[in-house]
């Protein structure tokens, strides 16, 4: 029973993170003109690497999302979960470095482009928790042995988790903006 719960939790984490990267990748493609500025604001990359990073990030996020959703069916193994964990840890580190530098005012780039969100430890913690959820899946057997009801429960749990994450992210973005403050 314990291994089965770990499998369900792991699959739910994969669905949640896949939806997160899918939405983020699509939003970054839709607002491609803003992405280089968001990346440059972190002041972690040399200026010459900002444009290539902005060009690569959306397709990488979309590929990771597809790998997490289709991985078990396509035989991708652990690579999508490893890639997603790496991205989440990279983003958490970039945020933590800038918070440590006292640069909370910059847009995290992790939400809808219309909801500018300043950096905060909550976002770092969110990424670490999501990475831990994916890492949990690296240690448990494949979800291939789950029945239909367990698969449905995992997928619905991942979807509900993603919707809750979007809700809190949107609320944080709305409450973080000041009247008359420009968003961008």
In a domain, 78, yes or no: yes
Q: Could you give phi then psi for residue 118, rounded to 5 degrees?
A: -75, 155
Give the model's confidence band at 56: pLDDT under 50 very low, under 70 low, under 90 confident, else very high: very high
Q: What whole-number distance in Å separates Cα of residue 71 and Cα of residue 7?
A: 14
Instruction: Let me know: does 80 contact 68? Beta carbons within 8 Å.
Output: yes
179 burial type by CB count under 10 A (0-12 exposed, 13-18 middle, 19+ buried): exposed
In a domain, 181, yes or no: no
Query: Under DSSP, is residue 123 helix (H, G, I), strand (E, B) or coil?
Result: helix
Supply 15's token pair: 């669905």
In a domain, 125, yes or no: yes
Instruction: Let me know: does 87 contact 21? Beta carbons within 8 Å.
Output: yes
Supply 99's token pair: 């918070």
In a domain, 44, yes or no: yes
Cβ contacts of residue 12 below 8 Å, gap of 6+? 133, 153, 154, 155, 157, 158, 161
When divided into structural domains, the chain yields a total of 1
Q: Read off the pTM.
A: 0.82
Cβ contacts of residue 53 below 8 Å, gap of 6+? 39, 45
- Containing structural domain, residue 89: 2-176
In a domain, 183, yes or no: no
105 burial type by CB count under 10 A (0-12 exposed, 13-18 middle, 19+ buried): exposed
The structure tokens 């990488």 sit at: 60
In a domain, 102, yes or no: yes
Question: Which of the listed ranges 19-33, 46-60, 66-80, 141-155 does the model predict with the highest average pLDDT?
Answer: 46-60
Taking all residues of the chain, what is their mean pLDDT, rounded to a whole number? Answer: 82
In a domain, 158, yes or no: yes
Instruction: Let me know: does 108 contact 123? Beta carbons within 8 Å.
Output: yes
Supply 183's token pair: 């968003």
Alpha helices (H) in the chain, listed in sequence order: 2-30, 35-41, 47-74, 79-100, 121-139, 148-176
Higher-scoring residue by pLDDT: 162, 123: 123
Give the model's confidence band at 62: pLDDT under 50 very low, under 70 low, under 90 confident, else very high: very high
């Amino acid at each position: 029973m314990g291994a089965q719960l770990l499998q369900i939790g792991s699959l739910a984490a994969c669905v949640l993170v896949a939806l997160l990267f899918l939405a983020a990748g699509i939003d970054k493609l839709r607002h491609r003109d803003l992405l280089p500025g968001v990346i440059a604001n972190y002041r972690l990359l040399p200026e010459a690497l900002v444009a290539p990073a902005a060009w690569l990030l959306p397709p990488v996020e979309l590929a990771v999302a597809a790998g997490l959703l289709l991985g078990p069916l396509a035989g991708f193994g652990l690579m999508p979960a490893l890639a997603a964990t790496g991205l989440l840890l990279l983003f958490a580190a970039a945020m933590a470095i800038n918070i440590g530098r006292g640069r909370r005012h910059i847009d995290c780039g992790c939400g809808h482009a219309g909801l500018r969100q300043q950096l905060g430890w909550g976002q770092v913690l969110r990424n670490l928790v999501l990475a831990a959820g994916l890492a949990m899946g690296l240690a448990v057997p494949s979800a291939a042995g789950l029945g239909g009801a367990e698969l449905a429960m995992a997928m619905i749990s991942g979807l509900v988790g993603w919707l809750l994450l979007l809700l809190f992210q949107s609320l944080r973005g709305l409450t973080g903006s000041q009247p008359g403050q420009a968003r961008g």
